[in-house]
Amino acid sequence: MPVLRDILGALRNSAPRGYRSMTPERRGVALLLANLTPRQRRQYVRDRYFDVIGGASATRYRLWHCFQQNVEELDQDGRRRWIWCFHPRETLVVGDVLLAQKTALELFEPEAIRVAHCYSNFSANAGPTSRIAREDFARTVPAPWRRRLAQALHSSYQVIKPSRAKFYRIASICIIAATFSCLLARVIAIH
C-alpha cells in the first residue's frame, strides 16, 4: 500500500494545481465566489452585481464588478440613493476588491462609509456600465453553461456562415434538386 500511496502522491503533485495555476484575476474571482451565498453567486454571474445587507444599518448595497464607484446604496424600492466609492489601499484584483467591500459592509459598515466618497451617478468611462468593466467581467468570471453554449454556437455559426452570394447559389441548387426529384417521382409513379 505505501507504494500505491507514493504513486498517487506523485500523480497529485505533478498534476496542474487548478487554483494555483489561475491568473491573479481568476484567483480573486474564485475567492469571491467561494465566499458568496448561493443567491449572491447566481446574481453576480448573471447580472455582474450582487446585493449585500449592511451589518450596522441593514441598508441594501449593490456591488458591481468594477474597480471604482461600484457600490450602489439602494432604497426600500430598490432604487439608487447614492453611489459610494471605497476600496483597499493596496492594489488588488477586482475579485478581492469586491470581497473586501462585502466584508467591510457586513462587518464594519460605519468605518467603510466614513472613508467612502459619495457620487450621484456612475462614471461613464470607468464605471460598472463601461466597456472596460463589461469586458473584464467576461474575461475573468466563468460564464454559466447556457451562455458558454450560446457563445460556442454563435462562434461556430460565424465559421460556417455562408456569404450572401453563396447562400443564393446553394438555395437555388436545393430548389432545382427538389423540383427535379418531384418530377422524377411523378414519372416513376406514371410508369
Partner 1 sequence: MSFMQSPQSFENSRDRAASTKRVQIVMNRFGDTRHEFDVTDAQAVALAEERFRQLTGSGFRAAALSSDGGPGKLLNKFDREVEQTLFVPHLQGG
With a CB cutoff of 8 Å and minimum separation 6, the contacts of 121 are 83
Q: For partner 1, which residue of 49, 62, 65, 69 counts as binding (CB under 8 A)?
A: 69
Going from the C-alpha of 33 to that of each of 28, 63, 107, 189, the distances in angstroms are 9, 13, 18, 67
- Total number of residues that touch partner 1 (CB under 8 A): 42
**83/113 Cα distance (integer angstroms):** 11
User: Is 108 an interacting residue with respect to partner 1 (CB under 8 A)?
Assistant: yes
Q: For partner 1, which residue of 45, 63, 93, 98 counts as binding (CB under 8 A)?
A: 93
Site string for partner 1, 37-56 (x = CB under 8 A): xx-xx-------------x-
Q: How far is the CB of 18 from partner 1 (least distance, A)?
A: 13
Nearest to 84 by CA among 102, 66, 71, 65: 71
**73/65 Cα distance (integer angstroms):** 15
Q: How far is the CB of 69 from partner 1 (least distance, A)?
A: 7
Q: For partner 1, which residue of 17, 89, 131, 154 counts as binding (CB under 8 A)?
A: 89
Strand order across the 60-64 sheet: 49-53, 60-64, 71-74
Positions that interact with partner 1 (CB under 8 A): 1, 22-28, 31, 34-38, 40-41, 55, 68-69, 85-93, 95-96, 99-100, 103-104, 106-108, 111-112, 115-117
